[in-house]
């Protein structure tokens, strides 16, 4: 099979012929007034226990202490917590009935962890201690 190369002039001509009226290189949208988010990349940050693997990382969130929560799909949905240095702290919701197909994780101002599962169509709230629901239980007078 013969290999073909397309030059930039041919691509620009095609863009004009297809109705854009200008070459493709000039039609790209440019972001304006977008703040730069500073970051530092750290290789091998997370220290996993033996025989536990991330799988497909779906969501990442942090709490007020700098702990990192990683929501994964790896044959099963799992939610891991790491401290601010990347050391494994715990797994939350292991075997939980609502963990079917991970979608997102968030941490609120009170350090409650909210896991969204698109397989079970559930939003699951963990208190900061890692238990499902509120630490104090139902509000007084509610049934």
CB 99 within 8 A of CB 117: yes
Indicate the pTM of the whole model: 0.68
Q: How far apart are CA 51 and CA 25, in angstroms?
A: 48
In a domain, 95, yes or no: yes
- Reported as a single tens digit per residue, the pLDDT across 59-112 is 999 999 999 999 998 788 999 999 999 999 999 998 888 999 999 999 999 999
* Residue 113: per-residue pLDDT: 97
In a domain, 36, yes or no: no
pLDDT score of 49 more than 50: yes
CB 15 within 8 A of CB 27: yes
Q: Closest Cα to residue 65, out of 80, 83, 42, 91?
A: 83
Confidence band for 139, pLDDT divided at 50, 70 and 90: very low
Share above pLDDT 70 across residues of the chain, in percent, rounded to a whole number? 73
| Number of structural domains the chain divides into | 1
Domain assignment of residue 73, given as a range? 56-126
In a domain, 60, yes or no: yes
pLDDT score of 23 more than 90: no
CATH number at residue 88: 2.40.10.500
Q: Closest Cα to residue 78, out of 64, 89, 92?
A: 92
In a domain, 80, yes or no: yes
In a domain, 37, yes or no: no
In a domain, 27, yes or no: no
């Amino acid at each position: 099979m013969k290999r073909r190369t397309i030059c930039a002039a041919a691509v620009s001509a095609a863009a004009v012929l297809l109705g854009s009226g200008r070459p493709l290189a000039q039609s790209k949208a440019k972001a304006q007034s977008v703040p730069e988010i500073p970051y530092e990349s750290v290789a091998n940050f997370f220290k996993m226990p033996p025989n536990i693997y991330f799988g497909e990382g779906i969501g990442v969130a942090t709490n007020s202490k700098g702990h990192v929560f990683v929501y994964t799909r790896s044959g099963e949905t799992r939610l891991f917590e790491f401290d601010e240095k990347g050391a494994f702290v715990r797994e939350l919701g292991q075997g939980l009935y609502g963990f079917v197909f991970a979608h997102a994780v968030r941490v609120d101002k009170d350090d409650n962890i909210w896991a969204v599962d698109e397989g079970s169509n559930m939003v699951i709230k963990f208190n900061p201690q890692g238990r499902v629901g509120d630490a104090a239980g139902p509000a007084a007078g509610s049934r």
